[in-house]
Structure 1
Amino acid sequence: MTELLWGKQPLPSRGPKPAVTLAAIAEVGIRIADAEGLDAVSMQRIAAELPVTKMALYRYVPGKAELVAVMSDLAMGAPPQRPAVPWRTSLYTWAMDLYDGFLLHPWLLQSTIGRRLLGPNELAWMESGISALAGSGLTGGEQFDSILVITSHVRNIAQQSTTFPGATTGLTEDDVNQSLAEILRTEAARFPHLTAALQTLAGSENQGLVFGLHRILDGLERLIQDRG
């Protein structure tokens, strides 16, 4: 798996000349996952879109689990290069870039969880985030945990605001909001605090994302100031 993720696995020296590349196979898998969800990805589907047979694909990748790992790292891509700014601005921008990536490829929320080997792009995202805290006075463990907390918040909001391809309920965001509003109009006495809170709710879909990020960064700022 490590060799696959890092592009160090040599192709067999014998046999016909390779008709495709591992990257081309992963790109087809990404297109399928973006359109139909991760469950729709299979060796059979990918082979149908490439000039190779299903069995020939196994010369490049042992199975779907390994393929999804390569797809995930390729879909994440390298983190955007940003100009040098103070650590708080840097981490805020980093988090918003990560959120945009999850919205672009929602299936990454499923494929990038649990204990697994990490590829070069995912490690580059971690490096980019942690580098913002270099020289902050936080220990290495605290820097790592800071990135973990921010990533968890971003993932949670992205998961709540994303409709996964192939797993839609058939409801739009407007449908859900309208249904909730209708319920609370007749059940306001039962849910008085919820009703009052929603009446003053205003802002974009990212309001929870932005609010949470600032509260996390407030806590880090206080900790860094105390260390200073």
Structure 2
Amino acid sequence: MGSDDDLPTVVARMWGREPASRRGPRPGLTLRRITDAAIAIADAEGLAGVRMSSVAARLDVSTMSLYGYVTSKDDLLTAMVDAAAPDPPEPGTLAWRDYLTRWTRAHRDFLAAHPWLLEVSPLTPPVGPRTLRWLDRALTVLGGAGLGGAEAVNIASTLSAYAVSAATLQTAMSGTVDEAGPEGPAGYTALLARLVDPGGYPGLAAAIESGAFGAAPDWVEDADFTFGLTLLLDGIEALIARRRRSAGPGARRRP
């Protein structure tokens, strides 16, 4: 294991492991102040509004003063992703399935609350204390259910990807997708009905005709989210059952 001196500047600061200043007063800025300012800009204007210069202006400091904390915009985005994440729900006494339901729902909700995260979070591996705490809690619960290693990591990644997908759909369908896009679920369904013909798209046309996409706002709300999450959790439950069968009747069952 390398020393903390080998850590990237922004990672060291996220974990409170930056080297202590050898002389002079501590800087007036903090990484938290910088990320709070950047998050406020992203929430109001989207990622396009987040520039080193715009963050510095919001803090009333020079742009150069930010570079002691974040050496590039990519570093800034990494820190923003971690700072925007709340603490994950704690497992407590919840069964693994109940906990992962709560975990995935909470993951979806904080992404939907900060839509700019949908652009950057899937491309930013978790390296901060908050985002890694989310991964840790999922892996801990899966380990208690008898799954570990690469299987548990893949499951946590799949549930995270589902949260991203659900938040993306929720965000898109809550308003206009783009300047030429439809307004909400009803507008999207109406657009599909005009574009899709049964000859070229028989499965999709039948789904539209049956009302599968729905004209009501609840198309992208909880029932659809729960349905998809249930499919994933059923698959995890089947995997756990297979692992227990392969372990044999004498293996100790985990809670």
Query: How large is the RMSD of aligned CA atoms in angstroms?
Result: 2.9
When residues 127 and 196 of structure 1 are mapped into structure 2, their CA distance, relative to the original with a 3 A threshold, is: same
The code of the aligned residue for 1:38 comes to: L
Are 1:210 and 2:226 an aligned pair?
yes
- The 5 Å alignment of 1:59-98 reads 59-81=68-90, 83-98=92-107
- The 5 Å alignment of 1:1-228 reads 1=8, 2-10=11-19, 12-14=21-23, 17-81=26-90, 83-114=92-123, 116=125, 118-163=127-172, 169-170=178-179, 174-175=183-184, 177-178=186-187, 180-181=189-190, 184=193, 192-198=205-211, 201=214, 203-206=218-221, 207-228=223-244
Assess if the C-alpha contact under 8 Å between 1:106 and 1:162 holds in 2: yes
CA distance in structure 2 between the aligned counterparts of 1:204 and 1:119, rounded to whole angstroms: 34
List alignment gaps of at least 5 residues for structure 2. 1-7, 245-255
CA distance in structure 2 between the aligned counterparts of 1:25 and 1:208, rounded to whole angstroms: 37
Instruction: Answer 1 or 2: higher relative contact order, Cα 8 Å, separation at least 6.
Output: 1
CA distance in structure 2 between the aligned counterparts of 1:139 and 1:83, rounded to whole angstroms: 19
Please identify, of 113-122 and 211-220, the stretch whose mean Cα deviation from structure 2 is larger: 113-122
The code of the aligned residue for 1:194 comes to: A
> 1:160 Cα deviation (Å)?
2.4
> 1:82 Cα deviation (Å)?
5.0
> 1:108 Cα deviation (Å)?
1.6
Scaled by the length of structure 1, what TM-score is found? Answer: 0.84
List alignment gaps of at least 5 residues for structure 1. none
Per-residue CA shift, 1:28-75, capped at 9, x if unaligned?
A: 000011111112111111111213211222232212111111111010
> 1:76 Cα deviation (Å)?
0.9
CA distance in structure 2 between the aligned counterparts of 1:110 and 1:179, rounded to whole angstroms: 22
Assess if the C-alpha contact under 8 Å between 1:153 and 1:209 holds in 2: no
Assess if the C-alpha contact under 8 Å between 2:91 and 2:141 holds in 1: no
When residues 18 and 174 of structure 1 are mapped into structure 2, their CA distance, relative to the original with a 3 A threshold, is: same
Paired positions, count = 226
When residues 11 and 220 of structure 1 are mapped into structure 2, their CA distance, relative to the original with a 3 A threshold, is: same
Please identify, of 119-128 and 190-199, the stretch whose mean Cα deviation from structure 2 is larger: 190-199
When residues 227 and 189 of structure 1 are mapped into structure 2, their CA distance, relative to the original with a 3 A threshold, is: closer
The code of the aligned residue for 2:230 comes to: H
Assess if the C-alpha contact under 8 Å between 1:26 and 1:71 holds in 2: yes
